[in-house]
Amino acid sequence: MTYAVFVDGQEGTTGLRIHEYLAARKDVEVLRIDADKRKDAAERARLLNAADVAFLCLPDAASREAAAMISNPNTCLIDASTAHRTVSGWAFGLPELAKGQRDKLRAAKRISNPGCHASAFILALRPLVDAGLLSPAALVSATSITGYSGGGKSMIAEYEAGGNPALQSPRPYALGLAHKHLPEMMNYTGLAHAPVFMPIVGSFYKGLCVTVPLHLSQLRAGTRAEDLQQALAAHYEGERFIRVMPLRDAATLESGFFDVQACNDSNRVDLFVFGSDTQVLVMARLDNLGKGASGAAVQSMNVHLGLDEGLGL
Ligand SMILES: NC(=O)C1=CN([C@@H]2O[C@H](COP(=O)(O)OP(=O)(O)OC[C@H]3O[C@@H](n4cnc5c(N)ncnc54)[C@H](OP(=O)(O)O)[C@@H]3O)[C@@H](O)[C@H]2O)C=CC1
Ligand SMILES: CC(=O)N[C@@H](CCC(=O)OP(=O)(O)O)C(=O)O
């Protein structure tokens, strides 16, 4: 059996990467739009409705427009944009979120792909909330170090043009404290308050790590760093794309520096707990174009269609 798949936004950063994943597959027939019709509404609508699965790799407004074009009840949309991540009727494309999430993705015809920072934040904290170690009322903060491909074609062009010395050093952003991923971070961790979130974009193509610093006194009385690592390990037991590292991962501690790019070219998420007697850092590392975007989208397609979740690479 082959499935017809269309990528709306096929020339963008996320769309191109999805094409790379699909190119190697025999169970998928990729529908292509002519270059000069990429933004032609009628042609997009025709291909969207001809697809079993259509990926939306578009700005938010164009994604909403595309969703409104669907008349075929069989078409499953997987939206990479921020447009539908907390909208009712859309399933959140993070199979590892909680028990039962895969069933939701199997049944859904509308799947929203998580944001890259949000995926890392949610995967790091949701198990701690579920285990009762972190209260839903907790006030947390997070930083995220990310490569510039997270900013799509325009940011990639800016970095690759060269000539701007300001881009050589890491740049904190979202200083208005209203990053677009905050609603999904709250929604899918169960936290009642938005984290104080500071993303930082660096002069490297891809790779991302979210860090959540916590005082142990903020957690359930008596919680130790070990308990956090064990809660993560228990939550993700058997998950092929989530690797929970040993407490105070020796290799990283010995080198003294954390490698933000070590999950690149994979769909993997590595979770770390570094701790002292009084404090911890919970860290989640991923490839922002892999599990942070295109890899996650293809994984959700596989779950939806009941196929092996591996990405065929
Ligand atoms: N880059 C990343 O790491 C991630 C991105 N995302 C999200 O995925 C979506 C796509 O992002 P990304 O691939 O980075 O963005 P890009 O800017 O790289 O690509 C977007 C593509 O959409 C096309 N496009 C814009 N408007 C329309 C329209 N009306 N009809 C058809 N095509 C249109 C653009 O065309 P043109 O080439 O002419 O500009 C471009 O090719 C965004 O919503 C983004 O927020 C999600 C997770 C991670
Ligand atoms: C470096 C950079 O600008 N990154 C983007 C996030 C990319 C991403 O995953 O977010 P969406 O899926 O919501 O687009 C940002 O922080 O806005």
Q: Is residue 45 domain-resident?
A: yes
CATH code of the domain in which 132 resides: 3.30.360.10
Task: Give 98-156 pLDDT, tens digit per residue.
Answer: 999 999 999 999 999 999 999 999 999 999 999 999 999 999 999 999 999 999 999 99
Q: Please indicate, yes or no, whether residues 148 and 225 belong to a single structural domain of this protein.
A: yes
Catalytic residues: 116
- Tally the domains of the chain: 2
Query: Is residue 199 in contact with ligand 2, taking CB distance under 6 Å?
Result: yes
Q: Please indicate, yes or no, whether residues 28 and 159 belong to a single structural domain of this protein.
A: no
Q: Which atom, in ligand 2's list, is nearest to the CA of 292?
A: 9
Q: Is residue 311 domain-resident?
A: no
- The answer on pLDDT for 313 being more than 60 is no
Ligand 2: residue whose CA is nearest its atom 4 = 150
Please state, rounded to an integer, the average pLDDT across all residues of the chain. Answer: 97
d(CA 131, CA 244) in angstroms, rounded, equals 16
Q: What does the pLDDT read at residue 39? A: 94
Q: Is residue 24 domain-resident?
A: yes
Task: Assign 103 to helix, strand or coil.
Answer: helix
Distance 9 CA to ligand 1 centre (A): 6
Query: Is residue 242 in contact with ligand 1, taking CB distance under 6 Å?
Result: no
As a whole-number percent, the residues of the chain with pLDDT over 90 amount to 98
Q: Is residue 310 domain-resident?
A: no
Q: Please indicate, yes or no, whether residues 233 and 269 belong to a single structural domain of this protein.
A: yes
Specify whether the CB–CB gap between 268 and 291 falls below 8 A: yes
d(CA 190, CA 202) in angstroms, rounded, equals 30
Query: Is residue 54 in contact with ligand 1, taking CB distance under 6 Å?
Result: no
Which one, of 33, 143, 99, lies nearest residue 236 by Cα? 99
- 201 DSSP β-pair partners: 146, 171
Q: Please indicate, yes or no, whether residues 181 and 208 belong to a single structural domain of this protein.
A: yes
Tokens 């509308």 -> residue: 110
Q: What does the pLDDT read at residue 312? A: 66
Q: Please indicate, yes or no, whether residues 280 and 228 belong to a single structural domain of this protein.
A: yes
Query: Is residue 81 in contact with ligand 1, taking CB distance under 6 Å?
Result: yes
Instruction: Decide: pTM greater than 0.95.
Output: yes
Ligand nearest to the Cα of 148, by number: 2
Q: Is residue 42 domain-resident?
A: yes
Mean pLDDT of 151-176: 97
Q: Please indicate, yes or no, whether residues 144 and 235 belong to a single structural domain of this protein.
A: yes
On whether ipTM exceeds 0.85, the answer is yes
Mean pLDDT of 178-182: 98
- 213 DSSP β-pair partners: 281
Task: Give 8-62 pLDDT, tens digit per residue.
Answer: 999 999 999 999 999 989 999 999 999 999 999 999 999 999 999 999 999 999 9
Q: Please indicate, yes or no, whether residues 81 and 126 belong to a single structural domain of this protein.
A: no
Q: Place 1 in a pLDDT band, splitting at 50, 70 and 90.
A: confident
Mutate to test the pocket of ligand 1, among 34, 43, 57, 159 (most ligand atoms within 8 A of CB): 57
Q: Is residue 312 domain-resident?
A: no
Q: What does the pLDDT read at residue 161? A: 98
CA end-to-end distance (rounded Å), the chain: 20
d(CA 84, CA 79) in angstroms, rounded, equals 7
- The answer on pLDDT for 311 being more than 90 is no
Ligand nearest to the Cα of 152, by number: 1
Q: Which atom, in ligand 1's list, is nearest to the CA of 151?
A: 1
Q: Please indicate, yes or no, whether residues 188 and 231 belong to a single structural domain of this protein.
A: yes
Q: Please indicate, yes or no, whether residues 49 and 106 belong to a single structural domain of this protein.
A: yes
Cβ atoms within 10 A of the Cβ of 303, count? 22
Q: Please indicate, yes or no, whether residues 127 and 79 belong to a single structural domain of this protein.
A: no
Mean pLDDT of 241-254: 96
Joined tokens for residue 151: 């900013």
CATH code of the domain in which 76 resides: 3.40.50.720
d(CA 50, CA 108) in angstroms, rounded, equals 18
Range(s) of the domain holding residue 300: 3-114+292-305
Q: Please indicate, yes or no, whether residues 23 and 135 belong to a single structural domain of this protein.
A: no
* Number of residues written out for the chain: 313
Distance 254 CA to ligand 2 centre (A): 31
Mutate to test the pocket of ligand 2, among 13, 60, 117 (most ligand atoms within 8 A of CB): 117
Query: Is residue 110 in contact with ligand 2, taking CB distance under 6 Å?
Result: no
Q: Please indicate, yes or no, whether residues 243 and 298 belong to a single structural domain of this protein.
A: no
- 208 DSSP β-pair partners: 146, 286
Q: Place 70 in a pLDDT band, splitting at 50, 70 and 90.
A: very high
